[in-house]
Each structure stands twice: as C-alpha cells, then as structure tokens.
Structure 1
Amino acid sequence: MANDTNTTTGRTHDDEAGGVKHTLNKAVDAAGGMVGQASASTTSKAPDFAEAAAISDMYEIESSRIALDRTQNPTVREAAQKMIDDHTDSSAKLETAVRQSPKAESSDVPNALDKRREKMIDHLREAPSEEFDRTYLGQQVMAHEEAAKLMHNYRDEGDCQVLRGFATEVSPVIEGHLDHMKRLETNMPR
C-alpha cells in the first residue's frame, strides 16, 4: 500500500517520502557546510590545512564524477569535467607543496573523505533525477565557499610559507569555480 497514489498531487507515498528525505539531506548538507566554513576560517596549522585542502579536492573530484554519470545537462557536465581537471591539478600541487613543507608531512594528506563529505556524496547519489543538477550545484557552491575561506585564511594566517604559497596560487581558481557554480545554480530552471 506504500505506493498508493495521492489523487490530489498524483504522487505516490514513496515519492513523497523520497522528497522529504531529499529535503532533510539538503538541510544536513547545509548545516555541515556552515560547520566546515567555521573550521576553514580558523585553520592556520600546516597539518590541518593539508588535510582540509586534500579532502576538499577529493570531494570535488568524487562529486563531479557522479555528476558526469548522472547529469543530462551539457553545461553541468562541462562544469563537472572542469572540477575534475582543476582539482586533480590542485591535488598534485598540494602534494608537491607538502613534500617541500618543513611543517607538514605526506601523512597529513588523507586518502579518503571525512564523514561529512561522505554523507554529502551519499546525498548526491540519492538525489532524485529531477533534483540532481540543483543538488550538485548547491553542494558545489557550499564546498567552494568553504574552500575559498580555507585558502584565504591560510594564505593570510598560515604557519608555513610553502603552503601559504600554494593557498595563494589556488585561491583564484577556487574563486572562479565559486562564481561559475553560483551562476549555474542561479540559472538552473526550477
């Protein structure tokens, strides 16, 4: 009986439950994004910065791979490919900077997402098809706001000159991504 159709809305109870779950997932992601931004704006130690920057890149790459698989929108597909390319490049630059850093070690660069980003990836995978592009773009805006804060704060307050140089170099790329994702999100049909 869970699939009974509501004659008023034409939606099944499963559709409605999925919509509620999707709305809750978006709220969890938004709350996590606020926590992430607060943390990013206070990160000034090299090991913490290396970890946060690496996880940020990993999330961008993984979420964008999902977008390449799921989106039907060529503009979103193009943006996702750019995220993969640019964040793969950023990851390589981070690894080089960490190797040159007297205050960070390669062990500071994780090889897996943290629980918060894992949940975001799960939420992206679970997004209904008709909500996927908006979900992806919304997550991208949040993630790039956090990454921009991380880079700006570390560039200005960080304890390692080599990693400050990395943050200075990648900040304009992240700011460009943020502006682009905001434009795409704003122009996405409802």
Structure 2
Amino acid sequence: MTRHLLIAGAAVAALSLAACGQKTETKGAATPAEQAATPDANPAATIPTPSNEAAAPDFVSKAAASDMFEIEAAKIAQKRAKNADVKKFAADMIAAHTKTTADLKKAIADAGQAQTLTLPAALPSDLQDKLNDLNKADNFDIAYMDNQVDAHQAALDVMQRYAQDGDVAQIRTFAAATAPMVQQHHDQAKSIRDALK
C-alpha cells in the first residue's frame, strides 16, 4: 500500500513539475472557474441563433424568387436568343423551375406550414433589376448565359446551406433533392457560355 502511495505521489510531483515548466498565455481570457462564476463571459452559455439562411421563411423566399427569376429570364431568352443551345437551355429552365416551384409548395404543405410560409408574389428589386438589364443587353446570348451561371451558383449556395442546416425537415429534404439539379444547370450554363465566347 505504501509503495502504491509513493508511486502515485511521485507521478503527481512529476506532473506538477512539468506543468510548472510550461508557459500558459491567457491573453485576458477567463479561466474555466471564472467563466462558470460569470455565465455572461462564457460563450458556450449563450444559445446560438440560427442564421437567416437556415430559417424556413428566408429560404422559401429566396428559393421561390430564384425560380421566378429563372422562368422570367428564360421567357426573355426564348424571344431574344439567337443560339439554338441557348434557346433549348431557356426552355429547359422554364420546365425545371416550374417543377421546383411545385415541389417547394408541396414540401411546405407536407410540413404543415402552408398558412405561415408563402411564396413571394413578385421578384425582389435586385432580381427585377437584373431582368431589366438582361432585356437591354446587346450581346444577349452571352449576357443571358453569364447571368445563368451566377444565378445558379447563388441558388446552389442557398439550397446546400438549407439542406445542411435548415429548420424544417420536409423543406430541408426538398433542398437536398433540388441541389444536384441546380448544380447540373450551373455546369450546363457554364459550358454553353464558354462555347459562346
């Protein structure tokens, strides 16, 4: 028994000596005991609020506006585009984004949120401005495809963030299922744009 106490005592002494030799810099940080005594100083004590992008109302608004923008831009492209690939891409965008809007509405209904989560009736001003600029573009085909690369990248970012951190399971499932299609559209738009240049 005495031998075990001596070994334990030697181990404690060795650890204490080793700890004394180390420099610890706190740079004004509170020790764990100080943090426990003052909960406001403990960052872990505060509950993080979800970012807006993980909140269903923000996601629904952005996703629906993105679909609306894609459809309206594609309608302009069907009238103004000269390149056959650009015209076909525009037709595909109308079909695909009409479907994703329907799928988003279904996800909202399945979540029991149809009364609280509504799709916007009009484009936000920034997207409306982009549509107006597109309508006036001189080299329309390149302008439209540049626009589509950017728009699909923005939509992909929104889908991926919500698929990872979203607060409503059914809508999160929708985002996860839609993201690969948006990625495919982005890649296709980039390929068509690069071929035009």
User: TM class, shorter-chain normalised?
Assistant: 0.7 to 0.9
CA distance in 2, matches of 1:120, 1:49: 20
- The one-letter amino acid of 1:51's match is S
Tell me which residue corresponds to 2:20.
Answer: none
Pairing of 1:104-143 with structure 2 (within 5 A): 105=115, 107-128=117-138, 131-143=139-151
Q: Does the 8 Å CA contact 1:50/1:104 hold for their aligned counterparts?
A: no
Superposed displacement of residue 103, structure 1? 5.2
Tell me which residue corresponds to 2:158.
Answer: 150
Superposed displacement of residue 133, structure 1? 0.6
Tell me which residue corresponds to 2:41.
Answer: none
| Structural RMSD (CA) | 1.5
Q: Does the 8 Å CA contact 1:154/1:167 hold for their aligned counterparts?
A: yes
Tell me which residue corresponds to 1:3.
Answer: none
Percent identity between matched residues is 35
CA distance in 2, matches of 1:103, 1:90: 17
Tell me which residue corresponds to 2:191.
Answer: 183
Q: Mean Cα displacement is larger for which, 132-141 or 107-116?
A: 107-116
CA distance in 2, matches of 1:67, 1:127: 11
**TM-score, scaled relative to structure 2:** 0.71
Count of residue pairs the alignment pairs up: 147
Tell me which residue corresponds to 1:68.
Answer: 78
CA distance in 2, matches of 1:121, 1:65: 11
Residue 179 of structure 2 is aligned to residue 171 of structure 1: yes
Tell me which residue corresponds to 1:79.
Answer: 89
Q: Does the 8 Å CA contact 1:148/1:175 hold for their aligned counterparts?
A: yes
Q: Which runs of 5 or more structure 2 residues have no equivalent in the other structure?
A: 1-50
CA distance in 1, matches of 2:52, 2:88: 33
Q: Does the 8 Å CA contact 2:60/2:117 hold for their aligned counterparts?
A: no
Tell me which residue corresponds to 2:58.
Answer: 48
Please list the CA deviations of residues 64-88 of structure 1 after superposition, one character each: whole Å capped at 9, or x if unmatched: 0000000111110000000110000
Q: Greater Rg, structure 1 or structure 2? A: 2
